[in-house]
Amino acid sequence: MKMRLCLPLACVLLVTGLQADNEVYRTWTDAQGRKLEATFRGIENGNVFLQVRNGYVYRLALDKLSAADQQAAKTLKPEGLGIPSDPNLAQAAAQIDMLVEAGLKKAAQKPNPLASDEQFVRRVFLDLAGRIPTREEALEFINDTSLSKRAKVIDRLLESEGYRSHLFNYFADMLRMADVAQKARFYTYQDWLKGQISGNVPWNKIVQTMMTADGKLLENGATGYLLRDAGMRLDNLSLTLSTFIGANVSCAQCHDHPFADWTQRQFYEMAAFFGATETYGAKGNAGGGMQGVRKVIASLGDRRLQQQAKNLVRVNALAVEDSSTNDLKMPDDYKYPDARPGDLVAPKLITWSDDKTKKAYQGVQTTKHDEQLREQFAKWMTSPDNPRFAMTIANRMWKHIFGLAVKEPVTDLDDPAASVNPALLHHLANEMVRLKFDLKQFLRVLCNTQTYQREATSHELADNTPYLFPGPILRRMTAEQAWDSCATLVVGADVDKFKGHRGDTYAKAMNIDLSGGVSPDVLKGQIENAMASMRQFGGGKAEGKPKNRKKRMMNQTSEEDLTLAPPVRDGLVLARASELPQPEKDQHFLRMFGQSDRQIADSESEEGSIPQVLMLMNGEAQRVIGEKDSLVVKTASAQKTPEQQVESLYLSFFSRKPRADELATAVAGLGNGMTMRDLTWVLFNTREFIFVE
Amino acid sequence: MNLHNQLDPISRRAFCERWASAALGVTVLHSLGGRSFAAEATAAAAPTGPGFGKAKNVIFLQMVGGMTHIDTLDPKDGPTQGPKAPIKTKADFQLGGTMENLAKQADKFSIIRSMTSKTGVHAAGQYVIRTGYEQRGTIKHPNIGAWAQHFLGSSHKTLPSNVCVNRQPQNGNGFFPSSFSPLPILDPDVGLQYAKSEATPDQMVKRLAMLDQLDAGFRDRFKTSEVKSYTQFYDKTISIMSSTDLEAFHLDDEPEALKEKYGKNKFGQGCLLARRLVEKGIRYIEVAKGGWDMHNNIDDGLEEHGAELDVALSALLEDLKERGLLESTLVVLCSEFGRGPKINGNAGRDHHPKVFSTLLAGGGIKGGFIYGSSDKEGMAVADKQTSPQDFLSTIGWSLGLPVDEVVMSPSNRPFTVGDKGKPVMELFA
């Protein structure tokens, strides 16, 4: 299909050193005779864009160039695609491209051709906003003739509501965010994280806050990270190390790691940093008030009320507190000679053999105060000097955008040299530090690379062949991308408007003061009030009443205000996945399409199954998309000719116009008794729909 | 779309394959039914012994909530007794007073009265009795059906080898590919969800033809295993939808009298469905039944749930026997833990993992046999302590699985069927 340059020709075009092989350099001269060796990136609004060898892009007024070069600028074909929005960004992107291309060159591979506008717009919407573009959004981009349109759409999407949803979904899978854990609702935790993402709080700050959070879950959502595994600090630590610094320690929890450096003793020494952290039935919080609480509960009429009140108290007791002594002990079955079972463990940080500077360790491990252990750990872990922290999130964000990490799996960065392109991996880590852990800025750089803007790799990778990123890989949509795209087909871009915000409501309803200073009567009043509000949230189910209320509202109002309540069709609540129960119930589209059950970190699945395909063919989603009140059908039906109708559907589903043969087939189908409903079914069930090019 | 497409094993796990081939330089071998993950050691000499491989199918009945062993399989007298006095059976042991029908089938099964588990928490206990492993945040463990598919391959050309009735699949495939995941049947009366298209057959033919045409360009351009695997899932799904195999899920084809005999409730009908699926050659069927968390008024609970179990299980054993399927079908009954000897202030019993009972029948298991015992009150194990791991290894043994063989997960951690439990050999005839 694709024309590739044959090798001899490609060699002619190659410039020595770290240069992109499709770039051609010439010497440009301005009116004063100053010279600049640069490649021509295009001309727009009277400005010429010239990229020098280090990647920096100069913007020069056309009339400042020599007459000959003005002529050249008007006739030359621009190299690469588009103009990045600022010269430094262009340089950052170009540096990544050079490293990728150096890696490819070493393996005698060539990058993929640049992606078409149609491929690009669908991909960048899915990767940054988490859903396909609507027909109008796709057309707006395709019809835009400006050179900087790719950079502009990237900027726009990074500021969109969808960005928050999509990145939340990624982290929700990574952090196993579930509505229900420890028999309480973790809504405040979710809202907290969403707030951090939309505020673009730097990643090191986000993680540090989670590690050091204090207080009640109801009052401080950031405590959700430690409370998710309340009473299981070893499991929690194992996940912390693999998730945030790619230390593959899960084996060392029970025995010395068979391949890597980690010993069981090291694992326990790290765990000792959380040895003074209480997450199990906060003592101090309920403290003196517990007796009063027990009396009030006993005074409640029937057993069911008593049980509810007990639940309420348990939710209020979920808190993180520091005690004054680290009580972590070696396990009862410890079998190595360097310690005895049951020995108290002193905290000690792990080191990496490739870390020569040890900068991150400076100023750590000096405290005599056990209640500060967590802070020390967090400071060390999230330090820009920590040899793995920046690298881990950079590698994860790369995977988020390219479909595969530079070092897989993302939870094991013990040996960066084992990466497919170690130079690239180290560079990405440095970039993350240079950008001060600004994830939005980091993603902006990645999306502006030519590497990202190339066609997806279409061939099957041979076994044992490392993937060197000639372009992004072809990948199936995540469950959330697929669901949000379905909702977009039915509702349009407004699907981004509705936001759940369940944390505030829940905390307000449930929070009671158990500190002991309140009189029994006041306490009783508090408990009864909270129990009344609790009923509003339904028994054990995350959905329930609010949904029904919304449904009623929808039936009453013809004008749908999507900021208040999402539309409901055929039992499906058409809101972004990030605003639905976390995770959804098992038979929901999201779960059947592979949404993580939030029990295992990073466990979103992109695999098919028979029940899943049955759902795609016969479930609610295909029906709702094909109904007359679905936006995609309404828009297509408003077109005059069958040709225009088919084109409209193609733009909605695939962000492209149909090819001639496809148009002919679909139009013939419409003439042969097939309906719009049938066509939407067909397009929905194609591989092209669920895969991201 | 080629309905007659030779169906390859759809066992490729995209993730594992991708990173293995792309990043590690390691080839992870997959093949249908073969040992799809690299086994650590070369397979040991095939184990043999009484009962090994006698079961071709397993019906795994999971009582959810903690089934009281004292009122069902391990009756006591004195203050421990509970609402009903023990009753005599066809064998030389007694059963709880509610198990009237099961008492007449006592010659067909064995009971383990010395089970013990480490956890009194429902979800954790259910996970252990189903997989043999403790729940972790870093890996999921397979159920026996997935283990069996790994070692023995698929049990049916089109239908799945692993089905769960009245419950969600909950990652029963564990670290194996998701094609090993149990197919959920949430309501036996309804059968397979989304199996029916709203489109007429004529309409469906047109849709499928157009789907094939319009997607051909994409499929040609992207010949990756992920795209191919989806195409195979579509082919397989369409072939299921258009085949008569789906009848396996149609309970309406069973005589009304038989449906009545199993009990007209979700568990009874689930057991009937399990027998139908066994007849169709589906290897592993889990049927769940809730209602056992009897903290209050255990009398009422037993009257409803105890009776449902009694009716359904005895009908199932009798039915399998009559059809000549009991020898090749292992039926097991288990729960995450038992319930305590003491009747609490709410006339119920509380969680009791220290000792409880399970039942096994068919698949080479002795009839009318008791293994192990609890003490006088039903408080602790008195003799022949048996763990969930031993219990699961026994099931694996009966199915002919190499229970000692270490299998490495994609994350390179070692696992065995039943986590190194020992099959209870005395149970086999």
Contact A317, A334 (CB under 8 A): no
Give the per-residue pLDDT at B140.
Answer: 87
Quick: pLDDT tens for B151-177.
999 998 878 899 999 987 877 999 998
Mean pLDDT throughout B195-205?
91
Mean pLDDT throughout B402-429?
93
Q: How far is CA A171 from the centre of its chain?
A: 5
The two beta strands, A572-573 and A319-322, are unpaired
* Helix or strand (DSSP H, E) at B37: none
Quick: pLDDT tens for B132-143.
998 877 788 999
Q: Picking from A82-86, A262-266, A517-521, B103-107, which range would have the lowest pLDDT averaged per residue?
A: A517-521
| HSE-up (13 A, CA, CB side) for residue B211 | 23
Chain A residues closer than 8 Å to B230 by CB = 476, 608, 613, 687, 690
CA distance B282 to A610: 15
Using CA coordinates, name the residue in chain A closest to B23.
A466
Contact A501, A575 (CB under 8 A): no
Residues 365-424 of B with CB under 8 A from A: 411-413
Quick: pLDDT tens for A599-634.
888 988 888 888 899 999 999 999 999 999 999 999
CA distance A607 to A483: 15
Mean pLDDT throughout B126-132?
96
CA distance A459 to A473: 10
Strand, coil or helix: A500: coil
Residue contact A458–B194, C-beta within 8 A: no
Whether the pLDDT of residue A17 is over 80: the answer is: no
DSSP code, position B253: G
Chain A residues closer than 8 Å to B177 by CB = 607
CA distance B45 to A538: 56
Cα–Cα distances in angstroms (integers) from residue A502 to residues A129, A225, A345, A577, A623, in the given order: 22, 18, 40, 14, 29
Chain B residues closer than 8 Å to A650 by CB = none
Give the per-residue pLDDT at A293.
Answer: 77
Nearest Cα to Cα of residue A646 among A622, A614, A678, A620: A678
Residues A7-84, CATH architecture: Roll (2.30)
Tokens of A280: 């199990």
Evaluate if pTM is beyond 0.95: no
The segment with the largest mean pLDDT, out of A11-25, A496-510, B390-404, is: B390-404
Average pLDDT, chain B: 87
Q: What percent of chain A has pLDDT over 90?
A: 59
- The values of phi and psi at residue B369, to 5°, are -125, 140
Find residue B95's DSSP bridge partners: B87
Using CA coordinates, name the residue in chain A closest to B238.
A614
* Helix or strand (DSSP H, E) at B419: none
Close Cβ partners of B156 (under 8 Å, ≥ 6 residues apart): B245, B280, B281, B282, B283
The C-alpha angle with vertex A61 and arms to A60 and A62, in degrees rounded to 5, equals: 110
Whether the pLDDT of residue B112 is over 50: the answer is: yes
Nearest Cα to Cα of residue A497 among A415, A576, A587: A576
pLDDT category, A523, cuts 50, 70, 90? Answer: confident
Residue contact A678–B206, C-beta within 8 A: yes
Quick: pLDDT tens for A139-164.
999 999 888 899 999 999 999 999 99
**Identity of the residue in A229, A464, A688 whose CB atom sits nearest the CB atom of B21:** A464
Q: What interface predicted TM-score (ipTM) does this complex get? A: 0.87
Cα–Cα distances in angstroms (integers) from residue A335 to residues A264, A340, A626, B169, B227, in the given order: 10, 8, 63, 38, 48
Mean pLDDT throughout A462-468?
77
Measured in angstroms, the CA of B334 and the nearest CA of chain A are apart by 24
Whether the pLDDT of residue B225 is over 90: the answer is: no
Give B345: exposed, middle or buried? Use CB within 10 Å, 0-12, 13-18, 19+.
exposed
The two beta strands, B162-165 and B284-289, are parallel
Nearest Cα to Cα of residue A132 among A485, A402, A482: A485
CA distance A333 to A325: 23
Percent of chain B that is helix, strand, coil (3-state, to 5): 35, 15, 50
Mean pLDDT throughout A595-600?
88
Computed from CA positions of residues B383, B388, B389, B394, in that sequence, does the dihedral angle turn out positive or negative? Answer: positive
Measured in angstroms, the CA of A365 and the nearest CA of chain B are apart by 29
Q: What percent of chain A has pLDDT over 70?
A: 88
Strand, coil or helix: A614: helix
Give the per-residue pLDDT at B24.
Answer: 28
pLDDT category, A23, cuts 50, 70, 90? Answer: low
CA distance B356 to B69: 5
Chain A residues closer than 8 Å to B19 by CB = 404, 408-409
Q: How far is CA B73 from the centre of its chain?
A: 20
Mean pLDDT throughout B7-22?
30
pLDDT category, B396, cuts 50, 70, 90? Answer: very high
Give the per-residue pLDDT at A31.
Answer: 86
Give the per-residue pLDDT at A517.
Answer: 66
Nearest Cα to Cα of residue B68 among B266, B295, B376, B368: B295
Give the per-residue pLDDT at B33.
Answer: 35
Contact B129, B388 (CB under 8 A): yes
The two beta strands, A572-573 and A568-569, are antiparallel
HEC per residue, A87-98: HHHHHHHHHHHH
Mean pLDDT throughout B209-230?
93
Q: Picking from A268-272, A508-512, B283-287, which range would have the lowest pLDDT averaged per residue?
A: A508-512
Give the per-residue pLDDT at B46.
Answer: 59
Mean pLDDT throughout A94-121?
95
Whether the pLDDT of residue A57 is over 50: the answer is: yes
Residue contact A601–B135, C-beta within 8 A: no
DSSP string, A110-123: -PPPBPPHHHHHHH
Sequence letter at residue A313: V
Does CATH number 3.40.720 belong to domain B31-191+250-427?
Answer: yes
Chain B residues closer than 8 Å to A409 by CB = 19, 23, 411
Q: Picking from A8-12, A27-31, A595-599, A681-685, which range would have the lowest pLDDT averaged per residue?
A: A8-12
pLDDT category, A548, cuts 50, 70, 90? Answer: very low
DSSP code, position B418: T
Residue, of B226 and A534, whose pLDDT is higher:
B226
Residue contact B215–A687, C-beta within 8 A: yes
Sequence letter at residue A330: M
Q: Picking from A218-222, B19-23, B345-349, which range would have the lowest pLDDT averaged per residue?
A: B19-23
Mean pLDDT throughout B355-370?
97
Whether the pLDDT of residue A2 is over 80: the answer is: no
Give the per-residue pLDDT at A3.
Answer: 38
Give the per-residue pLDDT at A525.
Answer: 83
Quick: pLDDT tens for A301-339.
777 788 888 888 888 989 999 988 898 999 888 888 889
CA distance B358 to B335: 7
Contact B355, B372 (CB under 8 A): no
- Number of residues in chain B: 429
Whether the pLDDT of residue A1 is over 60: the answer is: no
Using CA coordinates, name the residue in chain B closest to A646.
B214
CB pairs under 8 A between A and B: 205
Give the per-residue pLDDT at B330.
Answer: 98
Q: Picking from A78-92, A534-548, A636-650, which range would have the lowest pLDDT averaged per residue?
A: A534-548
Whether the pLDDT of residue A670 is over 90: the answer is: yes
Residue, of A422 and A514, whose pLDDT is higher:
A422
Measured in angstroms, the CA of A572 and the nearest CA of chain B are apart by 15
Strand, coil or helix: A30: strand
CA distance B117 to B215: 53
Find residue A320's DSSP bridge partners: A215
pLDDT category, A259, cuts 50, 70, 90? Answer: low
Nearest Cα to Cα of residue A164 among A199, A133, A204: A199
Give the per-residue pLDDT at A96.
Answer: 97
Using CA coordinates, name the residue in chain A closest to B204.
A678
Give A567-573's long-range contacts (Cβ < 8 A, gap of 24+).
A567/A490, A567/A491, A569/A490, A569/A624, A569/A627, A569/A629, A569/A630, A570/A620, A570/A623, A570/A624, A570/A627, A571/A620, A572/A620, A572/A621, A572/A624, A573/A543, A573/A547
Chain A residues closer than 8 Å to B169 by CB = 586
The two beta strands, A57-61 and A47-51, are antiparallel
Q: Picking from A247-261, B244-258, B279-293, which range would have the lowest pLDDT averaged per residue?
A: A247-261
Tokens of A537: 């949230």
Whether the pLDDT of residue A251 is over 90: the answer is: no
Chain A residues closer than 8 Å to B126 by CB = none
Alpha helices in B5-136 (DSSP H): 14-19, 100-103, 122-131
CA distance B408 to A524: 55
Measured in angstroms, the CA of A549 and the nearest CA of chain B are apart by 27
Average pLDDT, chain A: 87
Q: Show me where the domains of chain A are located.
A: 7-84, 85-159+388-454, 231-281+318-386
Whether the pLDDT of residue A461 is over 90: the answer is: no
Cis peptide before A409 (omega within 30 of 0): yes
Find residue B408's DSSP bridge partners: B414
The segment with the largest mean pLDDT, out of A19-28, A171-180, A539-548, A591-600, is: A171-180
Q: Show me where the domains of chain B are located.
A: 31-191+250-427
